[in-house]
A and B are shown apart, each in its own frame.
Chain A
Amino acid sequence: MDFIFQPWPWYVAGPVIAIVMFLLFYFGERFGVSSNLETFCSIGGAGKFVDYFKIDWKENTWNLIFVIGAILGGFISTQWLTTTEAVAINPQTIQDLADIGIQNAGSSYLPDEIFSIETMLSLKGFLILLIAGIMVGFGARWAGGCTSGHAIVGLSNLEIPSLISVIGFFIGGLIMTWLILPLIF
């Protein structure tokens, strides 16, 4: 049973994600998390301003329930299934992060330099979190999917649009990681 409490290796996680995708299809739906962001807009009354959001969001209730499950899963895992906060990243990664101003990399899941309450309450820190979110939400809906819908489902289905999107994800991710992050902290 001890392996449950250790970090799960890739060869466990990948198949479990494939099972999640399989089950959603088996239940008559399609794996894709970012469409919930549009559902939030519709529930919040965005249809009054933009016709795009005039949809019957109740059809997407299953996906909102899935998201609630994901939140519960995060809670269950943190409370009862995890004994260490440390993430065993590559020592070179730790060094690289120290060089760009992020200390103690890997001692917890997230860097304080981005996610601590203190950072969130500063203007710069708040804007970093907000702009990161805007880029994720805007980009995902423009591309018509995120990591789940494009990288997992779309690539599995051998779809060219998903391959182009995933190449885009990497172009953007590499630009941020190699060129922009070193300038921020």
Chain B
Amino acid sequence: MKYIKFLLVGIIFGIVMSKAEIISWYRIYEMFKFQSFHMYGIIGSAVILGMISMFLFKKKMVKTFEGNDIHVSPKKKGLYRNLLGGILFGLGWALAGACPGPMFVLIGKGVVSILVVIFGATLGAFMYGAFKDKLPH
């Protein structure tokens, strides 16, 4: 039962991804063509409100439902890791028109071909694990 809350948050996430057309390939293309404010407004407003959340967590004004402090562990540092990994991700994002979250939402929409993309993404994660010692980080 402790997982029900994650299911519900996931459902909210899936609905907003779909209703705001974030799962649309066209919205991603339009964003990279700088022809609409839609995606920038979504990411920008989420980040501004996210900053307020982080402030509340750091000042310990908000704790977890179990009363523990919320500590946001930092991402790994490294120019090559973040820049080269980011560029590769961006190439895939603009081609598939979907990042990992929307890929799953598109299954719910009944898009069969997205399964090939998800299989590829899993294979890509496996390839990273297999080659990671040979890559610059």
* Residues in chain A within 8 A of chain B (CB atoms): 4, 7-30, 33-34, 36-38, 40-41, 44, 46, 49-50, 52-53, 61-63, 65-78, 81-82, 87, 89-90, 92-93, 96-97, 105-106, 109-111, 114-117, 119-120, 126, 128-162, 164-178, 180-181
Contact = CB atoms under 8 A, between A and B. Distances in A.
B98 to A, nearest CB: 8
**Which 4 A-B pairs have CB atoms at the shortest separation, nearest pair first?**
A73-B14, A69-B10, A168-B86, A133-B120
B14 A164 contact: no
Contacts of B97: 110, 114
Given A25-B64, A114-B97, A37 B72 contact: no
Contact of B124 (A15, A63, A137, A170): A137
Q: Interface on chain B toward A: helix, strand, loop, or mixed SS?
A: helix
Q: Interface on chain A toward B: helix, strand, loop, or mixed SS?
A: helix
Contacts of A110: 24-26, 97, 106, 111
A169 B89 contact: yes
B22 to A, nearest CB: 7
Given A34-B100, A70-B105, A129-B120, A27 B14 contact: no
